[in-house]
Structure 1
Amino acid sequence: MATPSAAGSDYLLSRDYVDCTRWDCDEHPRYAAAADAASSLRRLNLQHYLWTQMFGYLLNPMVDTSSDTLKVADIGTGTGVWLTDLSRHLATSAQLDGFDVDTSQAPPREWLPPNVNIRTWDIFTDVPDELVEQYDVVHVKLLVFVVKGDPIPILRNLIRMLKPGGWLQWAEPDVPSMRISKTQSSKADDALQRLFNLTAAQDPRLVPKWPSQLPGLFQGQGLAQVEAHRVDANPHQEFAMHQCNLLIYDMIAQRGASSAQAKEISSLVPEAAHETKGGAMFAFSRLTVVGRKAQD
C-alpha cells in the first residue's frame, strides 16, 4: 500500500507487489519495469482468487450486505480486484470505494463497474473528515509487511471510517505458523529450511506476530461480535501460493539483504524451487477477523 517513500516513513518496506504483499522500492525505483509490473499484477489477482477459494467468501457471512445503500471501503485496494469481485454480489446502488497510496495498479476508471471508485489515501495519515463514519463495511487485507510492528494506529483509523454498527474485516497470513509441508517425510527440504532461517534472521519484522493477535486487538479497541476464521489451505491451493511466495525471496535479496546474504538467498531460490518440484513447500495458516463497531 505504499509507493517509494522517504526515509523514516511508516512503511517497513515500500511497495512492489508479490503475492499481494508490499516490498521496498526505495533503492530500486525503476524495478517495476513493464514486465515486472505485469507479473506483479497477475500475482496479486491470482492471490485474491486463491484466498477467496480458501475462505469461501469475500465477506464473512455475519456481515449483512443486503442494503441497497451499502457503503464499502477497501484499504490497500491495489488492483481493485476485491471490490470488483464483490460488486457482482451487491445492489448496483451500493457504493464501493478503494483506497491506496498508489492507484496505478487499478484499471482505468472506464473499465471499473459503475459503483466502484478508486482514490488515493495513505492509511498512515489521518482519516479525511469526509470519510469519518461513512462506511458500513471496511475491508483490509495483507498489510503484514507494511506494518512495522504496531497495527493499532491503522486499526484506529479503520474504525474511525465505520458508521456506528459497521463491520471491519481484516485478513492476514499468520507468518510465524510457516512450516514445510512434504509429500513424504524423506523429501529434501534443506534449501527451503535455509532460505527461511536466513531471511528470518535478517530482520525479525519479516516474521510479524501481530496478525494472530488481531482478535484481541479488535476487542481492545471496542469492537464487538469479534470472530476469527483460521484456514489451512488444501495442498493444491497452498502449492499455488507457494510458487508466488518464492518470488519474495528474490526481492529480499535485491532490496533488504547484505551483499553476502543476497548472494546466498539468490543461490538458494533455485534450489528451493527444485525441492518444491520434488514435493516440499512452505505452508502457513491464514486468518480473517471481523468485528462490529458499537451502535450509538
Structure 2
Amino acid sequence: MSPIEQYKAGTNFISAAKMNYTHYFLKQLTGWTLHPNTGIQGKKSVRIADMGSQTAVWAIDVAEDQSFEADVHAFDISNKFFPPTPWLPPNVTLHRQDICSKFPSTLLETFDVVHFRLFIMLDEENIRSMVKSAISLLKPGGYIQWIEHDKTGLKPITASKDQDTSAVEALIELEKNPFPNYNFRWINSIAPVMAAEGLDVVVEERIETRASLLTQMHELHLIALLDIPRGMSETVDTFKANYFDDLASDNAKGIASVDNFKIIIARKPM
C-alpha cells in the first residue's frame, strides 16, 4: 500500500478524531450537511448513499436531520472506524463495500443523493469508477454531492502586521506535496469527469475558510500531521522536525493559512 493510501485508510483514534472534527468544521463552514441544490427541498423522505463513510459521522448527522425522513446507507471498504451497530440511528445501515466495484442489484437506481467527501487524492480512473458507481445507485434525476479540500489557493494570514509566517508558508508547500506522486490539482478533474459521464454539473463552487474558523482549520492541520506516523512520508517527517512546534504556537499568535473547499453538485438526467 502506498503512503497516501495508508494515510487515507487511517490508523487509530487520532484518525477518527480528525474525520469527526472535519465533519463539524465543514458543517459550520458551509451551513449545511446536504447542499440546497441536491433536490431534497419539499421531499418528505429521501434515500441517501454515503460513499467512503469511515466513521459514518456524516451519515449519522443526515439521518438525524429532523427536516426530512432519511434512509441512509453508508459504504466503506473497511469497517475499521464504523460505530457499533447498536449505537446507530435506526435509519442508518453500514455496508462493507468497495465503492469502485459493482453494487448489489437491489441497491441500483434507489437513491436520491450520493455523497462523496475528502478522498485526499484520486487519479482520473478512480474518479470515473466512483462516478459510475454513483450513477448506478442514483434514481433518474438524483444528485451527487462531492466536497474536497482545494489546495490551489492556499495563502498565509496573520492577525497583525509583521508576524513571522515561515512555518505556515512551509505548511502550504507541504500540503501541495506531502507524499510521493501527489497531485494537489486532481480535484479539477471531478466536474469534467462527471460531465463526460453524462451528468449535468449544476454547482461548482469554492468556499474559503472565514476568519472565525481559522483557528479550527489550523487545529485540523496539526491533527492531520499527528495522524501521519513517522516513516510514512520523509517529507512530512522533515517538516515536523523543523516546523511542528512553531506551527503549534502560531495558533495562539494569530498566524494561520486560508484554506478553500470545492463543492460539486451534479444531476443524473431523467
Question: Residues 206, 250 of structure 1: CA spacing in aligned structure 2 closer, same or farther, 3 A cutoff?
Answer: farther
> Partner of 2:6 in structure 1?
14
8 Å contact kept, 2:201–2:264: no
> Partner of 1:4 in structure 2?
none
More strand by share: 2
| 2:252 pairs with 1:280 | no
8 Å contact kept, 1:215–1:227: no
> Partner of 1:138 in structure 2?
114
8 Å contact kept, 2:49–2:114: yes
> Partner of 2:31 in structure 1?
56
> Partner of 1:110 in structure 2?
86
Pick from 43, 53, 61 the counterpart of residue 77 of structure 1: 53
Q: CA deviation at 1:225?
A: 5.0
Code of the aligned partner of 1:46: Y
Post-superposition CA distance 1:236-262 (Å, at most 9, x none): 21320221212333444624323x862
3-state SS of the aligned residue for 2:55? coil
> Partner of 2:72 in structure 1?
96
Q: CA deviation at 1:116?
A: 0.7
TM-score normalized by the length of structure 1: 0.79
CA distance in 1 between counterparts of 2:175 and 2:267 reads 37
CA distance in 2 between counterparts of 1:126 and 1:256 reads 31
CA distance in 1 between counterparts of 2:70 and 2:249 reads 47
8 Å contact kept, 2:18–2:224: no
Question: Residues 284, 206 of structure 1: CA spacing in aligned structure 2 closer, same or farther, 3 A cutoff?
Answer: farther
Code of the aligned partner of 1:294: P
Code of the aligned partner of 1:215: A
> Partner of 2:193 in structure 1?
217
Deviates more, 1:222-231 or 1:115-124: 222-231
Code of the aligned partner of 2:6: S
> Partner of 2:102 in structure 1?
126
Post-superposition CA distance 1:197-234 (Å, at most 9, x none): 35645646545212244333322221125212321122
Code of the aligned partner of 1:14: Q
3-state SS of the aligned residue for 2:72? strand
Aligned CA RMSD, in angstroms, stands at 2.7
Q: CA deviation at 1:82?
A: 1.2
> Partner of 2:203 in structure 1?
227
Post-superposition CA distance 1:92-112 (Å, at most 9, x none): 864210011222323211111
Q: CA deviation at 1:149?
A: 5.5
Instruction: Mark the runs of 5 or more structure 1 residues left unpaired by the alignment.
Output: 1-6, 16-21, 26-30
Q: CA deviation at 1:264?
A: 4.5
| 2:249 pairs with 1:289 | no
Post-superposition CA distance 1:176-198 (Å, at most 9, x none): 22221211341111122234435
Percent identity (aligned) = 24
Deviates more, 1:64-73 or 1:95-104: 64-73
CA distance in 2 between counterparts of 1:228 and 1:92 reads 25
8 Å contact kept, 2:204–2:264: yes
Question: Residues 14, 127 of structure 1: CA spacing in aligned structure 2 closer, same or farther, 3 A cutoff?
Answer: farther
